[in-house]
Amino acid sequence: MTTLDVAGIPLELDVQLAYKGNIPELEQFTLWAQAALVERGLDLTELSIRIVELAESQQLNHDYRGKDKPTNVLSFPFENPPGIQLPLIGDLVICADVVKQEAKAQNKTETAHWAHMVIHGCLHLLGYDHIEDDEAELMESMEKRILLQLGFDDPYKTEQTTDC
C-alpha cells in the first residue's frame, strides 16, 4: 500500500495485480483516483484497485451482477459499520484485457481508457450511477470534466463499452 498526495488529496492506494501484462504506473492510478475523489472532501481516503484477467472479471460480474461476461470495471463501495468511521471508500476491479479491447475499438489510447475506467469506478464508489438517464447525464458530465482537466478527450465521443 502506498500513500501519495499528488493532487492535494492524500490517498492510500493498494494496487493488486492478478494480471501479467503491462498496466499504468502507480502514480497514474493515484492521480486519476484523486481527480475523481476530490469531490469526497476527506483528509485521507483509502482505495484498492485490483487488476484482473478475463476469467476473474467474468466470475465477479456473474457473482455480483448476474452477467456472465467480463466487464471493464466493477465497483465495490465500502460501508462503514454503525458508529465507526473509516477512510476506506471501497474497491475497484478492472479487467486489463477488456480495457485494452475497448480502447482499440473506441480508437483511444489505452492510457486514456485506463484513466476513464479509474475515474468511472471511483465515481460509482462515491454513489454516482448511470442507470437512469438523468443520473447518466450527471455522471458522464463529471467524467468528461475530470478527464478534460487531466488532458484527455471526451471519453464518450465514440464509446462502446462492455457494460460496466
Domain ranges for the chain? 2-149
124 is in an annotated binding site: yes
What span, in angstroms and rounded, lies between the C-alpha atoms of 61 and 19?
Answer: 17
Q: In what order do the strands lie in the sheet with 11-18?
A: 2-4, 11-18, 45-52, 88-95, 73-77
- 3-state SS, the chain, equals CEEECCCCCCEEEEEEEECCCCCCCHHHHHHHHHHHHCCCCCCCEEEEEEEECHHHHHHHHHHHHCCCCCCCEEEEECCCCCCCCCCEEEEEEEEHHHHHHHHHHCCCCHHHHHHHHHHHHHHHHCCCCCCCHHHHHHHHHHHHHHHHHCCCCCCCCCCCCCCC
Q: Per-residue pLDDT for 26 more than 70? A: yes
What span, in angstroms and rounded, lies between the C-alpha atoms of 128 and 93?
Answer: 17
Q: Per-residue pLDDT for 4 more than 90? A: no
CB atoms under 10 Å from CB of 25, counted, come to 9
What span, in angstroms and rounded, lies between the C-alpha atoms of 73 and 96?
Answer: 9
Question: pLDDT at position 43, please?
Answer: 63
Q: Per-residue pLDDT for 28 more than 80? A: yes
Mean pLDDT of the 89-113 span: 96
Residue closest to 75 by CA, chosen among 113, 124, 28: 124
Task: Select, from the ranges 1-5, 40-44, 159-163, the one with the highest average predicted confidence (pLDDT).
Answer: 40-44
Q: Per-residue pLDDT for 1 more than 70? A: no
Question: pLDDT at position 159, please?
Answer: 52
Question: pLDDT at position 158, please?
Answer: 61
What span, in angstroms and rounded, lies between the C-alpha atoms of 129 and 136?
Answer: 6
CATH of domain 2-149: 3.40.390.30
62 is in an annotated binding site: no
Question: pLDDT at position 128, please?
Answer: 92
In the block, cell 471511483 appears at: 122
pLDDT in tens, 49-77: 999 999 999 999 999 999 999 999 999 99
